[in-house]
Chains A and B, each alone.
Chain A
Amino acid sequence: MLTCDEYISPVSLPEAFAAMKANRDRYRIVAGATDTLPWAREGRAGDVHIPMLIDVVKIPELCEISVGDKRVRLGAATPIQSFLDDPALARALPAMPRCAVWFADDQIRAQATVGGNIVNASPAADATPCLIAHGATVELVSATGKRTMQLQEFVTGPNKTALADGELLVAVECDALPEYGGAFEKVGHRRSLVISLVCLAALIKLDKGGRNVEDARLAIAGIGPKPLRLTEVENFLRGPLNAERLDAAADMPVSLVASRTRQEYRRDVVRGFMLRGLINAAQRAGADPGMLVPELEAAYA
């Protein structure tokens, strides 16, 4: 059970930083709270008393969303459901709606935030790998300054990030990828509300005829301490789109599985997800139907 002496909801960054400074070591930042409340229960942190909870979702900078031609800016308090409800976001970040539909459930998505998923830094986070595939950078702000860094460098390990004392994650910026096809594959013990055993985000951009891969972006989570971007596979995939090359690409990340449990199963899943994710992304990017072998499609798409 989580108890606190005070729960405040600052409406500006300076107000939040002042509260953080005045309550150093006795506060916790809350965004959606959907991870914080289950954390303070029997079997995890147990009964927890935190003198001050600072809720950041009413700070305007954390709620801004802007979709530009090159980059998309998401305030850290953007609810995950926005990727399903906001057509402009869905167009600019084509794998995010596919990710969102697998993220918890409709109800929790309306409350859970992009920033919370990132800062929580679960090795099985769903949104984080998908954002990484979209080329995300994070904007970290403190009372004295601002810095940005790549999202994959920000998450350093299980529940560990590069967030410094007194800093807030204010926004995430992604590449706008409207010409890409996006896919997100996930498996766990049930369909909704499940922690990923493996999840994979895939984005593919094809040439006009739908026969050549101009760009591919892939990121994976659930198989090690932190999400990974699969740059080597991305480089390999640039070129003709065909079943043999997809097949070869699917094998490449299998050796990255570093989880301590269910390694063999996860390796099988990674291979299957690579094929399914790439085929789905390619189809959504307008692949020439002749380029994908029907058997492969039937088995994986």
Chain B
Amino acid sequence: MPDLQFFATINGRKVARNAKPHQRLLDFIRDDLNLTGNKEGCGAGECGTCSVFVNGVLMKSCLMPLAKVQGATIETVEALAKTGELSVLQKAFHKTGASQCGYCIPGMVMAATAALRTNPFADREEIKERLGGNICRCTGYQKIFDAVEMARDVQNGRLAATALFEDEAKEGDFIGKNVRRIDTPSKVSGRLKYAGDMAMSGMLHVQVLRSPHAHARIVSIDTSAAEAMAGVEGVITCADVPGEDGFGVFVNDQPVMARGKVRYVGEAVAAVAAESALVARRALSAIKVEYEPLPAVFDPDEAMRPGAPVLHDYAPDNLTKHIPIRVGDVEKGFAESDLVVEETYTTQPIEHAYLEPEAGLAYVDHDDVVTIVSPDQNITHHRHMLARIIAKPISKVRFIMSPVGGGFGGKEDMIYQGMLALLAMKTHRPVRLVFTREESIISTAKRHPSRTVLRMGLTRDGRIRALEMKMVCDGGAYGLSTEGVMRKAAILAAGPYAIPNVKVDTYGIYTNNTPSGAFRSFGALQTAFATETHLDISAERLGLDPFEIRRINAMRDGALTHTKARLTSVSLTRALNALEKASGWEPGVPNSRGNTRRDLDRDDTRPPCALGARFKTAEKQEAAE
């Protein structure tokens, strides 16, 4: 493979280096030049974290073969604040609070810079459109658009530069005030190093071999050919685990790598550390794994039936956790009701889709401390688990939490840190693993899919007399946070409503699907979806306004919840009133509107999705001329 003799002007400096002909521009700037401000979020042109200027035109460096930009002038995010002074746009991002996890922000700042360079007078709709190739998972975009509009106005002299200064806030008086985040300058400039941006001298690159089967016995694993390859420094399987091979949040049912059998497509089976990611990938294809497929189960209701395939020996009924709640007597409550409504609700698995795919760096330090650096949302718990897995005293295990490029609960489980520790111990070198987007989606936890049967009894005046709920959740192949999710789902199932008779059962069930785990709201989404939808349906049947039926049943100050928590103050009624006002709600039964609704086409409602704001701007300009 002849090298590519690459030359270009990058951030104002001449660069001439040998590169590989298959490299992408993104690989070159990040790996060869160590310009890690621009990130890789998807590798497929979807997210824009990698956006850079090529000859003044913004492009996605993950879609750009390096050979294509031979001789070009390239600017990365590092060029925007080269002297240390943030650009007007970067300051505006700081002012409006436009950065949260920060991972999308370097690309977002680049896209915003490009938008205002192309049209310094772009209106908000056009700004949205020109930023359309960049995804942010945290902010909901509004603060980003606020920032771009602020920068536009400062640049055009319509707004004083002092608008970019921090608002003065009295010491200790921060609630409801615009207080700037102290970490924003590092994020808007691309200086903040996430785990995948960190490199150490002598560092090896890790790749993971994953199961193609949903359920299969591992007959044999032969790593000898991979280990014999030049550049491969270490290969690990479950045989390399020195201690107790099991982790989890409530039950330690998950091995670091598959042991004896695989339980879902994407489960780690072996891992390789090599001089480059490419060599490690090639080594993966040299590992021979013999599988004997087993019957698999993909539906939790089927998994609960007798005779269903069993995932874990300790749970012959595939039950991860059942949480029952009993208050009063629901049968009595139904008997007292004028209306009983029963419906079934389902929700699907949901991916967290943080912009930063999982990544981690591990090394054994000079004092033999096994050190893991990763965007890990639960380092103390993981440190204790890892100590047991690698059979070391806790003083010889250290976890460092790197900046989390979005978590949403998805980085609470210790799914790859164990492999990193084992490879660092085996090779005596620093090792780094960076997931691809596809790998992140296939192998990491999702929100629990659910099927909820809900029965509610109400009197004619809208009072709920009884609520009976059975929710079955697909927990996937391993326990992870399932028990906690089932608990919170059950606790919040009856909502913030005073209901005298409640019967709730939530079940987390093992299946051969991708494991389900923590995800913001932690089970409340699934049950609240059922209960709140049910209230709307009940309101319709009773001829009540949906706000009214909620106010009728709302818990008040001093209420005792269904799990016996005393609430000294309950803001539900206040929240409902504010929501009703802010949403421009037209009072009435849910099905009373039809073709006569009046809440459309107002100034404060959004028209349907469209593109073409730039044509409108052009037409306006033409008209002005």
Contacts and interface: CB of A to CB of B under 8 A. Distances in A.
Interface string A19-32: 00000000000100
B438 A43 contact: yes
B314 interface: no
A7 B438 contact: no
Nearest to A183: B612
B48 interface: yes
A37 B130 contact: no
A97 interface: yes
B44 interface: yes
Interface in B32-73: 43-46, 48, 51, 57-60, 62-65, 67-68, 70
Contacts of B70: 9
Contacts of A6: 1-2, 21
A106 B48 CA distance: 11
A2 B436 contact: no
Q: Interface size bucket, B side?
A: 35 or more
B21 A34 contact: no
A256 B2 CA distance: 51
Interface residues of A, number: 36
Given A38-B45, A192-B132, A1 B59 contact: no
B63 A34 contact: yes
Contacts of A84: 614
Contacts, number: 111
A10 B436 CA distance: 32
A106 B133 contact: yes
B24 interface: yes
Interface in A1-60: 1-7, 9, 30, 33-34, 37-38, 41-43, 47, 53, 55, 57
B609 interface: yes
B44 to A, nearest CB: 4
Nearest to B284: A47
Contacts of A101: 129, 611-612, 614-615
Contacts of B436: 41-42
B466 interface: no
B63 A55 contact: no
If over half of B's interface residues share one DSSP class (helix, strand or loop), that class is named, otherwise mixed; here it is: mixed
Contact of A4 (B21, B62, B285, B442): B21
Contacts of B442: 42
B439 interface: yes
A111 B44 contact: no
Interface in A100-118: 101-102, 104-108, 110-111
Given A33-B68, A41-B436, A106-B133, A191 B609 contact: yes
Nearest to A4: B22
18 contacts: A1-B281, A3-B22, A7-B65, A33-B65, A34-B60, A41-B43, A41-B44, A55-B68, A57-B68, A97-B615, A101-B615, A105-B132, A106-B58, A108-B45, A111-B59, A187-B609, A191-B132, A192-B129
Given A3-B278, A104-B45, 11 more contacts: A37-B45, A37-B65, A47-B285, A53-B65, A55-B68, A106-B58, A107-B51, A108-B45, A111-B63, A192-B129, A192-B132
Interface of B: 1-2, 4, 21-22, 24, 43-46, 48, 51, 57-60, 62-65, 67-68, 70, 111, 114, 118, 129-130, 132-133, 278, 281, 285, 436, 438-439, 442, 609, 611-612, 614-615
